[in-house]
Structure formats: C-alpha cells, structure tokens
Structure 1
Amino acid sequence: MKVLLVDDSGVMRKIIARSLSSLWIDEVVEAGDGVEALKAFGDGNGFDLVLTDWNMPNMNGLELVQAIRSAGHKVPIMMITTETEKTQVVKAIQAGVNDYLVKPFDQDMLQMKLTRVLPNPEAV
C-alpha cells in the first residue's frame, strides 16, 4: 500500500509514518505542503491513500483536496488536522475528503479511520 502523507510539521509526519508502518503500510511518500504533494501525486502516481493536514504554507490541505478531486482522481483522502469547527469539517467533506481525524489521535483511532476509508480495510 502506497500513502501520500502531507503535513508541514516534520515531527508530525514522522509520528504518522511510524503509526502507518506499524499498521503494515509499506510505502509512505512525505510532502511538506500541498505544492510538494501535487508534484509527488503527479497523475495519481499509484497512491492508495492521501493523508493531509489542513493548515500548511503555500497550498493548504483543503486546496490540495480540491486540486486532486478537480483532476478527477478518486483516491481516498483523509484530513488529519487540529481544525474541529463543524463548518471546517463540512468544507472538507464538500471538497471531497472521505474522512476526518482530529489531532491529537491515538493508534487505535487512526486504524479505525483507515478501515473506513480504504477499499481493502483488511490490509490495515
């Protein structure tokens, strides 16, 4: 399974990547903002899942989601963020996010959310 992990915090990327690794996700490509993520994403680049933060420089997570969806890609996308306001959650869902995980989170919560968004949840 190949995951695109987008967060401007290198520490947070390491924490999430470590969690994904313990869930047998074998390939994680990291990006520090939406611009880097779009370059890595290319024409889909074989990603099975995109995990993105909301608040980032250059291109935020919501703009990234909109760019991926407007290009016609159906890859599951999960927003992992500190944004908890209902209006923010609604915006993310309207933009095409498949699920939403609020920081801080634990391993069990991440695994539960992944099983909801992945087409093959038994892989997690």
Structure 2
Amino acid sequence: MAKSILIVDDAAFMRMMIKNIVSKNGYDVVGEAENGQVAVELYKKLKPDLVTMDITMPEMNGIEGVKAIRGFDPNANIIMCSAMGQQAMVMEAIQAGAKDFIVKPFQQDRILQAIGRVLARAEQ
C-alpha cells in the first residue's frame, strides 16, 4: 500500500507542486491544508504516514503545527518546507519535532530523498 502524505502550505501552487512530485512517485496524497490549524485537524482525521509542512503560514505557523501534531502523535513524521533557510528556523523546526527540512525552491530529488529517509527511519 502506498504511503499517505498530508501536504501543508498556504500557497496553493506549492501544494500542487509537491502533490505532483509525490503522486508521480507512488505516494498517496490524502489531504492538503493551508495552515497549521487545518493541518492538525486533518492529521487527527487522516493519520497520514508523513506530513510536509511550510513554516510561514497564517492562523497557525508550521512550528506551532508541528508541536500540536506531535502533542497528539509523538511519532508523527513531519518534514518542514520553507523558503527561509535560516539556521535558527531549521533548529527550531527540528527541536519542535520535525524529522527533516527542505529549503524552497526545492528540487524534486531532494523532496523524494527526504521523504524516503524519514519513512525508512520510521519503519526501523
């Protein structure tokens, strides 16, 4: 069975881009959210194998979203995606519980590599 992915980004084109990449490569996109608040609700309902999460979003940002999801499911697999490749943001995301970090604009290979690595670690 294909691994399920929840895509979280406030930019619809970014969600579509990630969706196209992961769908083409055998993953099942089970949901999309435009902010952390919606992401938390969808995570609880859909229980995806992995979440790609933008950092800068309205309502609830990605770091708050990671904390909320990890509070609900300590084993959640979350990969942060952000245009802000600042060291402090990366560290904050990892401390909040993200398992990997992708900087925008990202390459298809980098997304697939991060997803593959995080899911492989989760299965150990």
- What TM-score does the superposition give when structure 1 sets the normalisation length? 0.90
Unaligned runs of 5+ in 2: none
Q: Which runs of 4+ in 1 moved over 3 A?
A: none
Give the CA deviation at 1:23: 1.1
- What TM-score does the superposition give when structure 2 sets the normalisation length? 0.90
Please show how residues 1-124 of structure 1 align to structure 2 within 5 Å.
1-42=3-44, 45-119=46-120
Letter in 2 for 1:105: F
Give the CA deviation at 1:39: 1.3
SS in 2 for 1:87: helix
Unaligned runs of 5+ in 1: none
CA contact (8 A) 1:17 1:28 kept: no
Cα distance in 2 between the residues matched to 1:68 and 1:32: 15
87-96 vs 64-73, which moves further: 64-73
| RMSD (CA atoms) | 1.6
- In terms of fraction of residues, the more helix-rich structure is 2
Cα distance in 2 between the residues matched to 1:120 and 1:88: 23
SS in 2 for 1:84: coil
SS in 1 for 2:76: coil
Inter-CA distance 120–27: structure 2 relative to 1 (3 Å threshold): farther
